Amino acid sequence: MTNSPTRSASVSSAAPRTARQLWVLWRYWMVREFKTRYAGSVLGFAWAFVQPLASLAIFYVLFGLVLAVRVPGLDVDNGYLLHLLAGLAVWLPFTDAVGRGVGSLAAYEDFLRKQPMPAEILPAVSVGGSLLVLAIGYGLLLVLSVSNGLGLHASLAWLPLLVMAQIALTYGLTLLLSMAHFLWRDVGSMVAFGLQLWFYLTPIVYPLSQVPEKFHGWFLFNPLACLVLMVQATVLHMPVPPGTPMALAVWVVLLAGGGWWFFRSMKPALGEAL
- pLDDT at res. 228: 98
**Residue-level pLDDT at 176:** 97
Determine, yes or no, domain membership for 105: yes
Q: Binning pLDDT at 50, 70 and 90, where does residue 5 land?
A: very low
pLDDT > 80? residue 17: no
Return d(Cα 40, Cα 260) in angstroms, integer: 35
The residue-averaged pLDDT of 148-154 equals: 84
Domain with 66, as residue range(s), is 43-273
pLDDT value at 210 more than 90: yes
257-263 LR contacts (CB < 8 Å, sep 24+): 257/172, 258/172, 258/176, 259/171, 259/172, 259/173, 259/174, 259/175, 259/176, 260/172, 260/175, 262/175, 262/176, 262/179, 262/180, 263/119, 263/120, 263/123, 263/175, 263/176, 263/178, 263/179
**Does residue 123 lie in a domain region?**
yes
Give pLDDT, residue 15: 47
Q: Is residue 24 part of a domain?
A: no
* pLDDT tens sequence across 218-235: 999 999 999 999 999 999
| Mean model confidence pLDDT for the chain | 89
More confident residue, 106 or 13: 106
Any domain includes 112: yes
* Residue 71, in any domain of the structure: yes
Q: Is the pLDDT of residue 203 over 90?
A: yes
In the chain, the number of structural domains is 1
Assigned domain for 216 exists: yes
Task: Tell which residue, 120, 126, 121, has the closest CA to residue 37.
Answer: 126
Q: Is residue 14 part of a domain?
A: no
pLDDT value for 33: 82
Averaged over 9-31, what is the pLDDT?
71
Global pTM reads: 0.89
Does any domain span residue 252?
Answer: yes
Q: Tell me what the mean pLDDT of segment 95-104 comes to.
A: 95
